[in-house]
Structure 1
Amino acid sequence: MGLAVLALGLVLGLAACARQVRPIIDPATSVAGGRNYEFDVGQCQQLADQVDTGGRTVGGALVGGAVGAAGGAIIGAFTGNVGRGAAIGAGVGGLTGGVGGAASGATSTRDVVRNCMMRRGYAVLD
């Protein structure tokens, strides 16, 4: 139970951080010297909120759980306990898949903000 709560906290933390992407720009080569940065980055963050980070997290957890359960059942068959192997595999696979899905959503969100800022004329450095 404690591991599941820790994993959920990690997944939610990744999603929350992604929404606060603030690219570093070069004001000397950006539109209007970067004076409208706060307004533009706010709008780009709102656009990036449309990335379905929750769906990617759940999808990753479901796929990871299914793959983990199958692998765990196979290992469990060799050790004489298919059910326990499947359960452990599902738990580990679901956790791994959920974290991977959340990380994928965070990367996509970051990319949306960066691309949005570049298309608005900002020289995005990071």
Structure 2
Amino acid sequence: MGLNRAAVFAVVALGLGACAEQVRPIIDPATSVAGGRNYEYDLGQCQQLAKQVDAGGRTVGGALLGAGVGAAGGAIIGAFTGNAGRGAAIGAGVGGLTGVVGGGASAATSTRDVVRNCMIRRGYAVLD
């Protein structure tokens, strides 16, 4: 089971690394600085800034928190069924995977927000 969790974490972390390049806010050229002519240049700079979002740290943090909560809940349920250790192990696995996904989603949202805010501050009328 440890190998599966590691594989899921690796896939999520790699996927989040590409998030910044995929964020392309829609702008209104009529109300944006210079009619949006420098969009690609400014977008590239904002995407570089967004890469500073600690996606890996958020994913690990989410996994650890999820594993801890899952282990505690699993141990309680396991105690009622006569096997607290097994319940804790199952709870930690499920909670850890859930935390990876939750932490990854948080990092993706932050990356998107960084790119959008950067473009807004550079004078673009961001519509999405």
* TM-score, normalised by the number of residues in structure 1: 0.92
Q: How many residues align?
A: 125
Structure 2 unaligned blocks of 5 or more: none
Contact 2:68 2:92 in 1 (8 A): yes
1:80 corresponds to which of 74, 79, 82: 82
1:107 corresponds to which of 106, 109, 117: 109
Superposed, which structure 2 residues align to 1:19-58 within 5 Å? 19-20=20-21, 21-58=23-60
1:97 to 96, 99, 102: 99
Poorly superposed stretches of 4+, deviation over 6 Å: none
CA RMSD of aligned residues (A): 1.5
Length-normalised TM-score, structure 2: 0.90
Q: Could you list the per-position Cα deviations for residues 35-60 of structure 1 after superposition, in whole angstroms to 9, with x for gaps in the alignment?
A: 00010000001111111010000000
Q: Distance in 1 between matches of 2:51 and 2:117?
A: 14
* Structure 1: gaps (5+ residues): none
Output the amino acid matched with 1:121: G
Task: Give the deviation of 1:18 after TM superposition.
Answer: 2.0
Equivalent residues in 2 for 1:52-67, closer than 5 Å: 52-67=54-69
| Percent of residue pairs identical | 78
